[in-house]
Amino acid sequence: EPEVTQTPSHQVTQMGQEVILRCVPISNHLYFYWYRQILGQKVEFLVSFYNNEISEKSEIFDDQFSVERPDGSNFTLKIRSTKLEDSAMYFCASRDLPGTGGASTGANVLTFGAGSRLTVL
């Protein structure tokens, strides 16, 4: 079954450092997302991306965050200068176009990766 893969699985960084989290979405998917989950809290939407541009972003996604699809397969989340409160699990997700996909996919179903745990010291 196709899956979304994320690297690294865990990254520890010093406050103020730049971090890049990488995601390889499912190959025929065109919509991409980043969510985060601070320990013990709910999964929060960060940003959605379609057709090489951001389609929507939350108030969490400030100027310290950026996303990029540098080639045909990777989808990255960059945090320019990490803060302690950026420590969280970051999930990448993707979905395909409306009307496509099987019973387990389909227009409104996001397929999530296993997540990248970011620890900022």
Partner 1 sequence: AQSVTQLGSHVSVSEGALVLLRCNYSSSVPPYLFWYVQYPNQGLQLLLKYTSAATLVKGINGFEAEFKKSETSFHLTKPSAHMSDAAEYFCAVRGRDDKIIFGKGTRLHILP
Q: Contact positions toward partner 1, by CB under 8 A?
A: 4, 6, 31, 33, 35, 41-45, 48, 50, 55-56, 58, 91, 93, 104, 106, 108-115
Nearer to partner 1, 14 or 52 (CB): 52
Tokens 């989340």 found at: 77
Q: How far apart are CA 115 and CA 101, in angstroms?
A: 23
Token pair recorded at residue 87: 């420590």
Token pair recorded at residue 61: 């996604």
CB of 56 to partner 1, least distance (A): 5
CB of 92 to partner 1, least distance (A): 9
What 3-state class would DSSP assign to 64? coil
Nearer to partner 1, 32 or 79 (CB): 32
CB of 29 to partner 1, least distance (A): 14
Q: How far apart are CA 10 and CA 14, in angstroms?
A: 14
